Structure 1
Amino acid sequence: MIAEKVFAEGVAKDIRNYLPPEYENADFQVVQKNKNNGVQLIGVQVNLPGKDLSPIIYVEQFFDEIRQGEPVERVMNRIASCIEKSSRAPFMNSGIDLTNYDSLKEHLAIKLVNTQANRKMLQEMPHENIEDLSAICYVDFPVDSGEGKATLEVRNQHLSIWNIDAKKIFQQARSNTQPVNTPILQSMNEIMLSIFNEEGHSTNLLNESVEFGLRSHDMLYALTNAEKQYGASMITQPEVLNKLEQLFPEGFYVLPSSVHEVLIVPDNGEMEPKMLGEMVREVNKNEVERQEVLSDRVYSYDKEKHQIRQEPDSIQKVKEMER
């Protein structure tokens, strides 16, 4: 991390020489950002005069290229290209004013994070606790999917600037109708068929009739949102839980695949929580990037409280969130 920071300082000092004249008065600062699950990233923040938003170029990838013998000149040109591209991104001119709540409220959304792994970060932001998870709000900038993804997590300082309380921003975030708030439930069998067969089609089962649950023999379903970004939060929507209860009247388990999706397993007596917990931990350890891990625990649906609850038999604390 120290060597990476020194590299970033060098980039901040010299990158102006690789950029066009419009960046002559730009300010380049080295920043360290705490990301999900305690992941720390070093980046160079680009502050352009007259711009409210300041893109950050994270240097890890470029630092690795230098260590692998890539010429410094070539790497610096790549960084400069990223800076120019990010500065021209649509979200930079989206019309959103971060000091004006009315200009951004329709772009609020919710994502889920692991409470214990993010306890320090959560001290700085409004959040709602859901079992061992926490729901937080973020601004989802209106950018076409082909242009990448731009988001900003809501911090306590934003509430002070907007003069609004946490309850209202969560209400607003849940009422918004952008693609990240549009839930999609699909059979994993259909998903695999659609991947390997161009003519395959994966249906959003949340639009199906309640008889679906009685006639379905599939064992695994993926729940996410239309953008497949931070889609695990769909499990916090009451209307989604109500629909799942109708589709799976025998009950169901929720497996946290990542912050982007959860898996739904019908409770037909064939899969035990302990076994499911072992599966989740194995996948998290070997297949999921640390920054995208949601939880090592399995949940079931509490019909009386209309919410998910942890399955005690799925918990193995000494092995949770290990890397």
Structure 2
Amino acid sequence: MTRKYALKPYSYSEFLKKIKLSVKRVMGEGYTVEINHILKNNSIELDCLIIRKDRDKVSPNIYLNTYYEIYMEGQSLDDIVDEIIQVYEDTKGEGEGEALALRYNLEEMKPYIIYRLVNYKKNKKLLEGVPYISFLDLAITFHCLVKNTEEGIGTIRVTNEHLNEWGIDIEELKEYAVLNTPKLFPPMIKTMQDIMEDMFQQESHMNEMERPINDLEQDNTAQEHLEDLCIDETMYVISNAKSINGASCLIYPNVIKNLSELLDTDLYILPSSIHEIIALKADNRASKEYLLSMVADVNGSQVPEEDILSYNIYFYSKKRAALTVL
């Protein structure tokens, strides 16, 4: 429901306070309601509402910036509060959530320390407060996995304060992450053809029950069209089993090396997003300029700002077993 303002609308800071108080009032006893200012990947700053019940360690992030835009367009505060609470109820057990600021000791966290890849230049502010390792034009950051279910994961970012509290250095932190990350998030490699076929089959299955029987005859035609698409069979999509921060597979021990040896070729690596990378046989005739334009186009039109990994492309030399920025 929309409305016209009888009075001057709330400022953004006033809006945040009103939302917090209203949600707390509706949720009642047994719930803690907080608003945190979060610095996310690629220096995106957002205000996040956290609703925590009793001893919950992980809660879905409910970002308020967009809700303020809706409010300024005329939606009532009460309607927004109702929507926020519904989002919480619908997502509290799903997706990727941020772990709450609880204390964890090193022994408890050792088996769950993992790493991720982010863009170095886009995260300079974030990197000031966390241990990281430079890698090409990227940075390796470290996180603790505190929730890992079929519905989703929850993590906390390891900070310099954690390292001081734990009494370890970044090399020890890296040892845990190198051991844990491939185990907790096993790599997966699929051809682009496989992915397109999976997408087609899923869409066909979802639509099957909604269409008249006569329309199902169109499946054969659609399948033939799929086979006619110019899909490069030399392209391989690399991610992890969760498809979350799967670009980290780039630094898994031997993943790129083994693929290069299996295909008996050098590889171009395209940074599709922080969630996946694409390996392309280097004997492909595509030029460097074409590949760079492809990455730029995908980043600009299909990848959310916070999921962009890089605008560069990488080259893996089978002979030297080395990865470089092309």
Query: In 2, are the aligned partners of 1:180 and 1:228 still within 8 Å (CA)?
Result: no
Q: Secondary structure at the match of 2:147?
A: coil
Are the counterparts in 1 of residues 67 and 80 from structure 2 also a CA contact under 8 Å?
yes
What is the aligned partner in structure 1 of residue 110 from structure 2?
105
- Would the alpha carbon gap of residues 221 and 91 (structure 1) be closer, same or farther in structure 2, given more than 3 Å must change? closer
> 1:282–1:243: structure 2 CA closer, same or farther, 3 Å change rule?
same
Q: How far apart are the structure 2 equivalents of 1:309 and 1:117?
A: 19
Return 5+ residue gaps in structure 2 as ranges.
1-9, 205-231
CA deviation map 1:130-154 (0-9, x unaligned): 11001111122233232x4322111
CA distance in 2, matches of 1:88, 1:193: 30
Task: Indicate the residue corresponding to 1:30 in structure 2.
Answer: 35
Between stretches 172-181 and 6-15, larger displacement belongs to 172-181
Bigger mean CA deviation after superposition, 49-58 or 65-74:
49-58
C-alpha separation between the residues in 2 aligned to 1:117 and 1:50? 35
Counterpart for residue 6 of structure 1: 14
Shift of 1:164: 1.6
Distance between the aligned counterparts of 2:90 and 2:165, measured in 1? Answer: 30
Cα offsets for 1:100-153 (capped at 9, x unmatched)? 11112222221110001101111111111111001111122233232x432211
TM-score for the superposition, normalised by structure 2: 0.78
Local SS of the residue matching 1:98:
coil
Aligned partner of 1:261 in structure 2 is 276
Aligned partners of 1:91 and 1:143 also within 8 Å: no
Match of 1:212 in 2: none
Q: What is the alpha-carbon distance in structure 2 between the residues aligned to residue 175 and residue 307 of structure 1?
A: 21
Q: Which residue of 2 aligns with 1:19?
A: 27
Match of 1:124 among 126, 129, 135: 129
Which residues of 2 match residues 207-246 of structure 1 at below 5 A? Answer: 218-246=233-261
Tell me: CA distance 1:188–1:218, structure 2 relative to 1, closer, same or farther (3 Å): same
How many corresponding residue pairs?
A: 288
Alpha-carbon separation, structure 1, partners of 2:237 and 2:56: 40
Gaps of 5+ in 1: 201-216, 312-323
Deviations 1:236-262 (A, max 9, x none): 112212212212322010000000000
**How far apart are residue 56 of structure 1 and its match?**
4.8
Structure 2 residue aligned with 1:272, among 274, 280, 287? 287
The alpha-carbon distance between structure 1 residues 5 and 264, as it changes in their structure 2 partners (threshold 3 A), is farther
Distance 1:90 1:220, change over 3 A: closer
- Greater strand share, structure number: 2
- Give the whole-Å Cα distance in 2 for the aligned partners of 1:99 and 1:169: 15
Matches within 5 A, 1:142-221: 142-146=147-151, 148-176=152-180, 180-197=184-201, 218-221=233-236
Contact 1:8 1:43 in 2 (8 A): no
User: Structure 2 CA distance, aligned partners of 1:10 and 1:278?
Assistant: 45
Match for residue 247 of structure 1 among 256, 259, 262: 262
Q: Which runs of 4+ in 1 moved over 4 A?
A: 45-56, 81-92, 177-180
Amino-acid identity (%): 24
Task: Return the alpha-carbon distance in structure 1 between the equivalents of residues 307 and 164 of structure 2.
Answer: 29
Residues 133-192 of structure 1 show CA distances to partners (whole Å, capped at 9, x for unaligned) of 01111122233232x432211111111122221111221112126765301110001111
**Cα distance change on mapping 1:249 and 1:276 into 2, 3 Å:** same
TM-score w.r.t. length of structure 1: 0.78
* Partner SS, residue 269 of structure 2: strand
Q: Say yes or no: does 1:62 pair with 2:62.
A: no
